[in-house]
Structure formats: C-alpha cells, structure tokens
A and B are shown apart, each in its own frame.
Chain A
Amino acid sequence: MDAAAVPVRSPRRFRFVAAQELGLVLVVILLAAVLSLYGWYDASPGRPNLFLSFDNLIDGIATPMSYYAIMAVGLTLVIITGGIDISVGAIMALAALGGAAALQALPPDAPAMLVLPVAILVPTGIGLLCGLVNGGLIVGLSLHPFIVTLGTMSVFRGLANVLPAEKTLPAAGKHLPAAFTTDFMRLEIMGMQLMPLAIMLICVALGWFYLRLMVAGRETYAVGGNEEAARFSGLGVGAIKLRTYAIAGLAAGVAGMVSLGRFGTASTSTGSGYELTVIAAAVVGGASLQGGRGTAIGALLGTLVIALIENGILILRLAQEYRLVIIGLAIIVAVSLDRLSGCLGRRRSAPLPAAPPPPPVTPGPETRS
C-alpha cells in the first residue's frame, strides 16, 4: 500500500479552541457582557465604564490572575497524568522568598544585566527543584501524589517560615533592585503594566505547544488516559511523571517571580491558599481529575472565569463576606455548564464522519509490496 498516495489532512491540528472549551468561552463572554453593562450603568456620568476600562481589565483582572493562570497551566499537566499537586502555593512562596533573598544582596541600582538573570534563575530554579522533589517522591516511592504533595506543601511552607531571617523580604531598610521591579515587572507601556499579562500568555502558549504539538505532551495524555497501556507501549511512565511535576514546580517558581517583581516583596504567607484556586481553575478549565483530559487554553479560560467572578463581586458591590460562597457556587456551575456544552458539542460535531476507507476488494489475503 502506498502511503504517500493517501491524501492526508489534519483539520483538527490547528483548531485553536476545542469543542470542550467552547462552553468556557461562552461563560466568559456572558460574564463580560453582564459586567460591562452594569459597569456602564453604574459609572458616574463622564467616568469610564467600571468594568470595561484598561485600569480594571489590566490591574483588576489580568495582573492578579496571572499567578493563578501560570500555575494552572503547570497543574493542568499534572492533572492530565491523573495526579495532583497541592504544594504549588508553598513552592511559589519559597521561590519568591528565595528570589528576594538573593536580590536584596544586590545594590538597589544594580544594572539589569546582573539583576535579571538572578531574578529569573533563582525563583525558577527553586520551583524546578521543589517540583523534582515532588516528582521524585511520587515516582520513586510510588506514593499517591495527594499524600506526597500534602506533605511537601507543609515542608515547603515550613521552610519558607524558618529559612528567611524575617517574615517579609527584603529586610527592613533594604530594597529590591529597580531593574527588576519598576523597570521590568512594573514596566509601564502606555500607562499600563503589561508584564505579568505577557508572562502569563507566554506560559499558556508554551503549555499549549507542549501539550498539543510535542511528543512529550502526547505522552502526558497517554499516561493519564491509561497508565498500564502506556507502560505496555514502552513509554517511560516514571520519567514522564517526574518531568510533569518538575514543570508544575517550575510554573509555581515563575508565579513566585512575577509576584515578587510586582509587589517588590515576598512574605512567608505569599501564595497561601492559592493551590485551591489553581486546582479550581484547572478543573473549571476542563481538566479531568481522572486524568487524560485537559488543555492549556482551558487552564487560562478557567482562571479567567474565576477572575471575572472575583472582579464582578467588586463591580456589582456585593458583600465581600459572600465572596467565597459565590465563587464556590460559580465553580460548580461553570464545571457543569462546561460538561453540558461538551456533550452537546460532541453530538453536534460528530455527524460528519470522515469518508470511510474504501471497502476492501478482496477480503482475506493482504498483498504487501
């Protein structure tokens, strides 16, 4: 059989938003529409729309959600393999504190050439190391990832408490080099601080690339979809898992770096409680805790949904006390909507099966050239 003669098309390869993500896009549009209308109605005359203004969109939504989204991409990889990592918030704190400790040793006016490598390598290195510890324990001892990361969450947070001399870094009287903070992470372009947003989008793009186009991504799905079949197919399941947890740690390190640069400080409580929001974001984004399902774009959309709801509570001036209740309910609703539209999408997209292979002319003997 001549393979080259078979017309080969790959229609799904470049489809950016899969059917399961369509529901999320709708949720996002719906939320944004409601908030825009209210923001326009509620704004005092002559003032910009409360919701639909660059101030709100960037500082109120994009920047705060960037830490979550970056970590959600990493966590989505972990969830796809059928695992979980609840230590990401603690890793973020450790990375931010480590970065602060290293940077405060430099003079405040140190040149960017010197500052940026330190500011980038130290937090991401710490994140990667923590991720490798997680992965190593999970793979090496074949322990359940929930148990392992429950333990390391506590250990990492504990280290964040004891290692720095003070609860907040940089220490009193010291400052982080401006080359990293005001001139990099808080860099203003047309009056907007776009750096966290940009880093978040880069991370999502990298995640998309990894999962969608790289062999490593395919292996991730295979391990989550059926670990035993993956092993029977000769995939190095342990190495794949180790790599995945390392990436999740790395992502938490990046989040720590962004947070450090933006606030100019890191404290022992940085990122505490983030893990739950990140897990929620990944799950709202369509990752299945049973493994085998999830996308980077989904992680971004999932975080966006949560960020919009948080922002909406402010815009609509709802009582802050109900914040958690509203977010919790919204997560459940969003996940159900997503599943529902996923089902509908499958039903709608299915009726066009590809042309079946031409019926074989002779039944039995196959002739091979």
Chain B
Amino acid sequence: MSAPFIQFRGITKTFGGVTALDEVSFGIARGECHGLMGENGAGKSTLGNVLAGIHKPDAGELLIDGVPHRFGSPRAALAAGVAMVHQELAFCPDLSIAENLCMGHYPRRWGGLLLDRDAMRRHAGQLLAEIGVVLDVERPMGGLSTAQEQLVQIAAAVGNTPRILVFDEPTSSLSEPEAQALFALIEALKRRGLTMIYVSHRMPELFRLCDQVSVLRDGRYVGSLARERMTPDAVVRMMIGRSLETHAPRHLAAPAGEVVLRVRGLASPGRFQDVSFDVRAGEIVGFAGLVGAGRSEVATAIFGLDSRVTGQVGLDGAPFPLRSIKAAMGVGIGLVPEDRKRQGCVPGMPCRANISLAILGRLRRLGMLNFTRERQLARRYFDRLQVKAASLDAPVNSLSGGNQQKIVLAKWLARGGRLLIVDEPTRGVDVGAKAAIHALLDDLAREGLAILLISSELPEVIALSTRVLVMRQGRIVGELPHADATQDAVLRLMAGVGRAACGIRKKV
C-alpha cells in the first residue's frame, strides 16, 4: 500500500482540561471515503476541525500528500484544498442564500467596487444545482429550516472545489430522500477522485458510502475497519467496548389509554392546514414527512409559539388556548425543539442551569434558587442520559453536539407533564446514547406519558411509534399503525405516491 494521502501523526488537542484528541495517528488513502465514528465527545468533530483549520493541534503533525501542514485558519485550509461541512451551522441569518454562498469571494463589477448581484445569483444557483437542490437564492438565510441550511452549507463546501471534503454529520437534519440525494452526490464526488471524511452516527449510510471506517474513543484512535469487516456489531464494539443489545419498544404491547392531546382543524396560513389528530396516554405518535412538510411547525404551534394559528386543541378533554406558551406548559406540554442551538439551550450557561431552565418555578424558595436540588437534578439526568462533560458547571457550548442534545432533552424530561413533543430527539446522538434515549421514551410512554415524536430518521420513527402520521405539504396525508408502518409504505406517503394502494385509513 502506498503512503496515505492524509496522514495524522500523534495529533493531540486539549480544551482547558478536556483532552479532545490524544495522539491520534492514522492514514487515509487517496480517493477514498473514510468514515469516522465514535461516541459523543469522542473527538470526531475536533479531528475534522484540525484538518479544516478551525483548531490548531497542540501537538502532532498533519501530512497531506506527504507535505506537512499546520493550518492557522479555515482560509489556509481552503487554500490547501480542504473544505468542511460543519456539524453546527453558522451563517449570517439576515443575508440571502446567495450572499452567504458567495461569502469571501463576492463577484465584483466596476473594478471591484460594486457587487455583481446577477453573477452572485447565477453562481449561487449553480452551486445549489450542482448538488441538486432547488431554492430561491434571494431568500434570507434566517428563514430556512435546519435541513435547508444544511443543504446550503454542503453546496458551499462542494463549491470550493476542494481535494478533501469533511462531512460532519451531514444527514443529521435531512430526511430520507434528501439524504439519498446527498449519497448520490458523494458517490459522484468519489468518482471525481475527491478524498472524503464522513462523520456520522448512522451505520447504514456509513456502510453504504465508506471504504474504510475509523473509530475514536475518548479522543484516542481505536482502529479502522475495511469494507469487508464492517458490521454494526464490530463497529459498536470498537466504539464502546461492548455489544449493544437492541430491544423492542415495550409500550407497544400495552393498550393505549385515554386521549391526552386532541387537535382539530389546526391551520396556520402558509405552514399547514386542516391538521387533526389525537395522541393517547402511553402512545408514541410518530410524525414522518419530508423536510418542509410542516411537522415542526405543527409542534411549535401546539406549544403556543405560532401567533397566527387557528383551530381547537384540548388536553385531557379540556380545551386550552392556542398562541400561549404559558397555557401550553400549564396544561403539561413540553417541547424539545428542533434547533438546539437557537431554541434549545443557552450556550453560555452551565449545563445544570440549562437543565433547570424550564422548572425554575419549582426550584424557587422565597425567590431564591435551590442550588442543592438543582445539582441533584442535573446529576440525575447526567447519569441517566450518559452526558459527557467536564462537570455540571461546564457551559453547554463546550460540549460535543450529541451531548448538547442530551442537555436539551434533560431540560424537558426534568419538567415532565402530560405530553412531550420531541422534535429530532436523537439528532447527532451516538448509538449507545440513542438506544438509551429510545429506551427512555419507551419507558415514559409506558408510564402513561403521551409522546409526539418528530424525526427525519425513518427507522427511528418506525421502530418507536405506536402510529405513524405522515405529513406532506402541510397536511396529514395518512396514518399507519405500527404493524403497517414499513419504510416503503411511509416513504410512499411522504412522496405522495400510492396513497390508495397502501390502503390508508384517512383520519377524520
């Protein structure tokens, strides 16, 4: 075997006291798609960031094509042909898609004085077209969904015509068809000879795309598996040092209880129409649909965050007013939002403060905060969700992506209530913790909580849900009981083909 194209040699990186990477050494061959796996906080993003010039390693060497590199900035890495699609997206929300896409190399006119808007629009359109996405490039970035942002970022990275492309959990907010389109793109890029690093927690896609998978554990390189030897069990063993037993959700066996949430004729102009459904105690109702189908919009509307929504909602038989978070929380509704960075957590505050944010009222004694109980609570959810952080007091933005997600989940689990809406609860969460979160949701359902689950990861919705509701273009287009909810059936409904063929009972 010839010398690897990318060679990491003893790469070490610490943040304060946390060792994110510990003498990581391995090589990646030219033109391969190299998978990178590991638990949350194992150091995958950090390794990608070292390669892409975001972080400087404390020690160690990085060789590309035999040449040592030490990137001081993303710009330097780009110049050497390394681009990265980041896990945590960063954009200027008030600028248009085109402006964001062309950032750093705006096309100019009149000797560089004026922005060439037409050229910018054309260029942005091309970049998007290249990855097969159709979006109005004039729209402001802030109005896009997370998935659309993700696609724009992929377009930006691919548009830099790099030699090396790092994908850090690119599919975490994409739904199945968009993910399929991305895989096709990656395969095309591979044929063009690009070397790619692909970070993900989803094994099927890793096995499909990658020629080689490397595993990190606690910042250390554990080993690599070639294509022939990639099995879920082998990878999990390397990742967490033991096998993972899967178990069927047990709430399915129990009979569903009384109707907890009743939604009738919910509509919000431009977002969704005529949405009616029930969620019973002990049920997990899954919402499937393409990105933009209106699932998250329905969730936020029920939670009181949509000022234009109309319709009737009731909890435990009693109607409650729409358009008020106070009312929704008062009757016992919780929402784990889709966008953890914008809506889910206060990044600069300690983990424990984030966990207690929704129950400050209960921790209040004569206006003062009960710190002892706050710590007990935070400690409990740290253990329960296996959060990996330096301490309870570590600010949330020092945690890895998956661990941030666990903090957001913990905040609402701590509050409890009657109905929990979880929007992408396991986005970016590693396999072990994902199993733990699934088991937790299952347990909560068995205890009589009603759960509304939104997820773009079809296997997750299908495996966990008592019933799957499928949304398309702002309407509920079908309902499948657990037994009938196969990947194929759900996908057909999502895409809008074969509604009759599937024998769907349309909800009244």
Task: Enumerate chain A interface residues (CB-CB to B < 8 A).
Answer: 1, 3-4, 6, 8-10, 12-13, 213-219, 221-222, 225-226, 228-236, 292-293, 346-347, 349-354, 356-358, 360, 363-366, 368
Contacts and interface: CB of A to CB of B under 8 A. Distances in A.
A265 to B, nearest CB: 38
Given A3-B380, A215-B367, A360 B346 contact: no
B237 to A, nearest CB: 12
Q: Indicate the size class of the contact surface on chain B.
A: 35 or more
A229 B443 contact: no
Contacts of A3: 376-377, 379-380
B397 to A, nearest CB: 10
B440 interface: yes
B276 interface: no
B17 A226 contact: no
A6 B378 CA distance: 11
Contacts of A215: 360-361, 363-364, 367-369
B242 interface: yes
A10 B371 contact: yes
Contacts of A352: 17
Given A215-B363, A215-B364, A228-B342, A364 B245 contact: yes
Given A219-B360, A229-B343, A347-B16, A1 B436 contact: no
Contact of A357 (B325, B363, B382): B382
B74 to A, nearest CB: 21
A366 B391 contact: no
Contact of A1 (B344, B372, B380, B411): B380
Interface of B: 15-18, 240, 242, 244-247, 305, 325-326, 329, 335, 337, 342-349, 353, 356-358, 360-361, 363-364, 367-369, 371-372, 375-377, 379-380, 382-384, 386-388, 390-394, 411, 432, 435-436, 438-440, 443, 447
Contacts of A354: 390-393
B240 A363 contact: yes
Contacts of A226: 342, 345-348
A230 B346 contact: yes
Contact of A350 (B18, B368, B371, B438): B18
A350 B17 contact: yes
A350 B390 contact: yes
Contacts of A216: 367
A214 B325 contact: no
Contacts of B435: 363-365
A364 B246 contact: yes
B357 A353 contact: no
Given A225-B347, A229-B344, 15 more contacts: A3-B379, A3-B380, A6-B380, A8-B375, A214-B367, A214-B369, A221-B346, A221-B349, A228-B343, A292-B346, A353-B17, A353-B391, A357-B382, A364-B244, A364-B439
A233 B411 contact: yes
A238 to B, nearest CB: 11
Contacts of B367: 214-216
A217 B447 CA distance: 35
Given A222-B357, A366-B439, A232 B376 contact: no
Contact of B357 (A9, A13, A217, A230): A230
A233 B349 contact: no
A6 B348 contact: no
B369 A218 contact: yes
B346 A225 contact: yes
B364 to A, nearest CB: 5
A235 to B, nearest CB: 7
A307 B151 CA distance: 54
A356 B245 CA distance: 24
17 contacts: A6-B379, A6-B380, A9-B375, A214-B369, A225-B347, A226-B346, A228-B342, A229-B343, A346-B16, A350-B15, A354-B390, A354-B392, A357-B383, A357-B386, A360-B436, A363-B432, A364-B435
B219 to A, nearest CB: 13
Contact of A229 (B345, B368, B387, B392): B345
A303 to B, nearest CB: 24
Contact of A363 (B335, B363, B364, B436): B436
A169 B382 CA distance: 61
A157 B405 CA distance: 49
A216 to B, nearest CB: 7
Nearest to B434: A364
Contacts of A292: 346, 348-349
B326 A234 contact: yes
A226 B346 CA distance: 5
A321 B407 CA distance: 55
